[in-house]
Structure 1
Amino acid sequence: MVTIQYFENNSLFFSQLVKHVPAVDHDIKIKGRKAKVIRLNEINENLVQVHVNLEKKNKKVLVTKEELKKKKK
């Protein structure tokens, strides 16, 4: 078992204990978000740092009161 520390923009994003280490340029899913592995740093045999690029979340646009009125008509 290996401890993997996932980093985004040089800040720790997530730590996980796994059996297999992802490869570079491999697409993975972390906390329900898609990510791509950029770089691997093996600190020792039990600790690996993985630098990832997370896919941006799409923010939902809030509906204004005027738009609600138009839809009801």
Structure 2
Amino acid sequence: MLTINVAVLLAFIVIMRLRRRTEARSRMDEKFTVVIVLVLGVLLAPTEFGQGILNVLTQLVQGISQSD
């Protein structure tokens, strides 16, 4: 359960960081946001929620590739 709580906190941080205007971000600030998003992905991946997202994205990609 700790993984979910940390993931929720990181998701909140990502949302707050992305709401800022693009002009106000430095290159270091953008790199830090990318690292936070990657850590969030690693925390969510093994959870049921993360697996659900993976299944939805897999179906979406398969549907797009079959329509071509």
- TM-score in same-fold range (> 0.5): no
TM-score w.r.t. the length of structure 1 is: 0.18
**Larger Rg over CA atoms:** 1
Q: Would you tell me which structure has more helix in proportion to its own residues?
A: 2
Q: Would you tell me which structure has more strand in proportion to its own residues?
A: 1
TM-score w.r.t. the length of structure 2 is: 0.19
